[in-house]
Chain A
Amino acid sequence: MVQDLSDRSQYPARNRDGTLDVDLTSGKYLKLWQGPNHPGITGNMSVELTVCGDEVVEGKTHVGYLHRGFEKLMERRTFIQCFPIVCRICVPEPDFNEYCYAAAVEELAGVEIPEQAKWIRTLILEMGRFNSLMMYLGGQSGSLGLGVIGQWTTYVRDLMLDRFEELTGARIYHMFILPGGVRDTLPEGFDARMEETLREAERTMKDVWNVMFQNAVFRKRTIGVGYINPALFDDYGVTGPTARGGGVAKDVRRDQPYLAYPDLEFEVNVARDSDIYSRADVRRRDALQSIDLIRQILAKMPRTGPVMAKMPNMLHWKIPRGETYIRGECSRGEYGFYVVTDGSGYPRRVNVRGPSYTHAMALLERLIVNCNIADVAALLVSLHTYPPEIER
């Protein structure tokens, strides 16, 4: 086990049960709640901070503000009825839920999806990644007071939502990746409009580079701040850009390729310093990579053939007993569905493994010690967490 690296010398001693010996009446310590309503928090969660001066002594993540019990709800729904609810587990990047769920039940039922459906799924996942990263860039700069970046990234995200809308019929919850394939083929003229959107996105990304990443304030506040020791990555289940910002080239798309990724060309983005800036920069390059991948997909994908496999009557669909785990690389790291079936028409158990689960709980609580209050928001956002996937 890695040694505790943070310097705790000037902080309270631990009680025998491991809790901190904090006497709030001493006037030395203060309890401070960041969230659940707070501009420096991502979504519906809160961090209970104990501060000494302007430094954090202890932080505890509180979730549950958005708990809907998806995993349990799915046990009461037939396999097809689970399809509309999974996307709601993660608002900004819902498609991973659809993909992982569909792929898991397909594997357990022995369904092979058509080639064109694989490519359309890949396309959707990259569009979703781009959108999620746009939200992140806006949030990360916003956490440091650069509000205008969020306006620009929201603009291009909105253009991408237009593309989602014409492809899937919805803007946020697309409900397009059905078990067995996808609902439909690409609409007429989609490629041209997508190209327009991608060009606009590239222009915006240049602005983001100039105004955010080349900004002295942003650099001052992020370089060397929020450092995660790469030695901790395995201890805390760190994946995705958070790990890649620390030099570990973890990317499921490359490590265990799925869908059309074996046929796509891309380099795994890595940075060295494992601080907020490195993580932000990896994500910025991931967004540019998504743009490139979308172009590659549209150039390479087949345009004929079915998009749905031949399926049994979905109303009576039963899947033999079994269990499996399906993972993919979402914008924040490893996303996966562990699905257990028992031969009935309902899943026996579904467990959603979102990267936020490890990043925003144990890891954040570890990193937040010794952090300056003013940096808490930037640190939290740099882990790119979406609370619904913690409480599911």
Chain B
Amino acid sequence: MQDLQTRLAQHTDLGEWTQQRADLAFVTVAREHLHGLLRHLRDHEGFTHLVLLTAVDWLEDGQFQLTYLMNNRAAARDIGVRVLIPREGADMDSIHDLWPTAATYQRELREMFGIDFPGSPRVDEEFILEGWRDMPPYRRDFDTLKYAQEEFAERPGRVSKDPETHMKQKLYPDGA
């Protein structure tokens, strides 16, 4: 996919390029280049199929990574375009004008990660979670275990012993 990288680099400022497989590469671009790059890939490079759009929460870096994965069936290759945006007040330009189906992904990202896509159809409508009041649950700082413990009752009568501690209690309780 070297050829593609060379061609794209001619008119887009490309960030890190990761060649994952012979037929799959990931490239990082700045958010302002995203729309143009996707349009170019779709219209001029044969990447007509939007495979998925999703986010990765790099909580420790304070960033969300958006991944736009596109497929060129004729050439049997995929490219994943990564855009890093700040977690704080996260929003991103919508691409529903390029692929109408993207609106679904963006609606999900809005609900699950709290990333806004202004102008995306029905982006504020509830999607999977109805009546959810907590923080967007796919964020890394949402603690599923804590949520489950608060929300659901544990079945009574469950205890488990750690073998090492149990043997200590039974065999050498004073530690010597």
- Cβ-defined contact, B144 with A73, below 8 A: yes
CB distance from A92 to the nearest CB of B (A): 20
CB distance from A280 to the nearest CB of B (A): 23
- Cβ-defined contact, A338 with B54, below 8 A: yes
- Cβ-defined contact, B127 with A237, below 8 A: no
- Cβ-defined contact, B80 with A235, below 8 A: no
- Cβ-defined contact, A391 with B128, below 8 A: yes
Complex: A324 Cα to B80 Cα, angstroms: 9
- Cβ-defined contact, B51 with A325, below 8 A: yes
**Complex interface: stretch among A129-137, A156-164, A284-292, A351-359:** A351-359
Known: A67-B128, A73-B144, A336-B51. A348 touches B56 (CB 8 A): yes
- Cβ-defined contact, B127 with A362, below 8 A: no
| Chain A residues with CB below 8 A from B135, complex form | none
Q: How large is the interface on A (under 10, 10 to 19, 20 to 34, 35 or more residues)?
A: 35 or more
Complex: A362 Cα to B50 Cα, angstroms: 13
| Chain A residues with CB below 8 A from B129, complex form | 64, 67
- Cβ-defined contact, A18 with B144, below 8 A: no
- Cβ-defined contact, A351 with B145, below 8 A: no
- Cβ-defined contact, A237 with B49, below 8 A: yes
| Chain B residues with CB below 8 A from A363, complex form | 101
Complex: A80 Cα to B55 Cα, angstroms: 23
Complex: A180 Cα to B9 Cα, angstroms: 38
- Cβ-defined contact, A250 with B21, below 8 A: no
- Cβ-defined contact, A362 with B103, below 8 A: yes
Complex: A255 Cα to B51 Cα, angstroms: 14
* Binary interface encoding of chain A residues 335-374 relative to chain B, with 1 for a CB under 8 A from any of its CBs, else 0: 0101010000000110101000110011100100000000
| A-contacting residues, B52-70, CB 8 Å | 52, 54-57, 67, 69
- Cβ-defined contact, A234 with B49, below 8 A: yes
Complex: A236 Cα to B51 Cα, angstroms: 10
Complex: A391 Cα to B108 Cα, angstroms: 9
A107 contacts chain B at the CB level, 8 A cutoff: yes
Count B-side interface residues using an 8 Å CB cutoff.
39
Give the interface SS of chain A, mostly helix, strand, loop or mixed.
Answer: mixed
Known: A107-B21, A323-B67, A353-B52. A235 touches B73 (CB 8 A): no
B45 contacts chain A at the CB level, 8 A cutoff: no
* Binary interface encoding of chain B residues 52-95 relative to chain A, with 1 for a CB under 8 A from any of its CBs, else 0: 10111100000000010100010010101000000000000000
- Cβ-defined contact, A256 with B130, below 8 A: no
- Cβ-defined contact, A322 with B20, below 8 A: yes
- Cβ-defined contact, B137 with A72, below 8 A: yes
- Cβ-defined contact, A325 with B97, below 8 A: no
Candidates B26, B50, B67; contact of A237 at CB < 8 Å: B50
* Binary interface encoding of chain A residues 284-306 relative to chain B, with 1 for a CB under 8 A from any of its CBs, else 0: 00000000000000000000000
A69 contacts chain B at the CB level, 8 A cutoff: yes
B118 contacts chain A at the CB level, 8 A cutoff: no
Complex: A252 Cα to B146 Cα, angstroms: 41
Complex: A323 Cα to B129 Cα, angstroms: 27
- Cβ-defined contact, A64 with B21, below 8 A: no
Nearest A residue (CB) for B105: A357
Complex: A239 Cα to B24 Cα, angstroms: 19
Complex: A76 Cα to B144 Cα, angstroms: 9
- Cβ-defined contact, A234 with B48, below 8 A: yes
B36 contacts chain A at the CB level, 8 A cutoff: no
| Chain B residues with CB below 8 A from A336, complex form | 51-52
Nearest B residue (CB) for A391: B128
- Cβ-defined contact, A255 with B137, below 8 A: no
A329 contacts chain B at the CB level, 8 A cutoff: no
Nearest A residue (CB) for B54: A351
| B-contacting residues, A233-287, CB 8 Å | 234-237, 239, 250, 255-256
* Binary interface encoding of chain B residues 104-134 relative to chain A, with 1 for a CB under 8 A from any of its CBs, else 0: 1000000000000000010000111110000
Complex: A1 Cα to B137 Cα, angstroms: 34
Complex: A199 Cα to B24 Cα, angstroms: 40
| Chain A residues with CB below 8 A from B18, complex form | 322-323
| Chain B residues with CB below 8 A from A237, complex form | 49-51, 99, 101
- Cβ-defined contact, B127 with A255, below 8 A: no
- Cβ-defined contact, A324 with B21, below 8 A: yes
- Cβ-defined contact, B67 with A338, below 8 A: yes
B100 contacts chain A at the CB level, 8 A cutoff: yes
A334 contacts chain B at the CB level, 8 A cutoff: yes
B17 contacts chain A at the CB level, 8 A cutoff: no
| B-contacting residues, A64-92, CB 8 Å | 64, 67, 69, 71-73, 75-76
A residues whose Cβ falls under 8 Å from a Cβ of B: 1, 18, 63-64, 67, 69, 71-73, 75-76, 107, 234-237, 239, 250, 255-256, 322-325, 327, 334, 336, 338, 340, 348-349, 351, 353, 357-358, 361-363, 366, 390-391
Known: A235-B99, A322-B18. 15 other contacts (CB 8 A): A63-B128, A64-B129, A69-B144, A73-B144, A107-B21, A236-B101, A255-B76, A256-B76, A324-B24, A325-B51, A349-B56, A349-B57, A351-B52, A353-B52, A362-B104
Could you list some 14 contacts between A and B, CB below 8 A? A69-B137, A76-B144, A107-B21, A234-B48, A234-B99, A235-B100, A236-B101, A237-B49, A323-B67, A349-B56, A349-B57, A357-B104, A362-B101, A362-B103
| A-B CB proximity, top 9 nearest | A64-B128, A351-B54, A362-B101, A234-B48, A349-B56, A361-B104, A353-B52, A391-B128, A236-B101
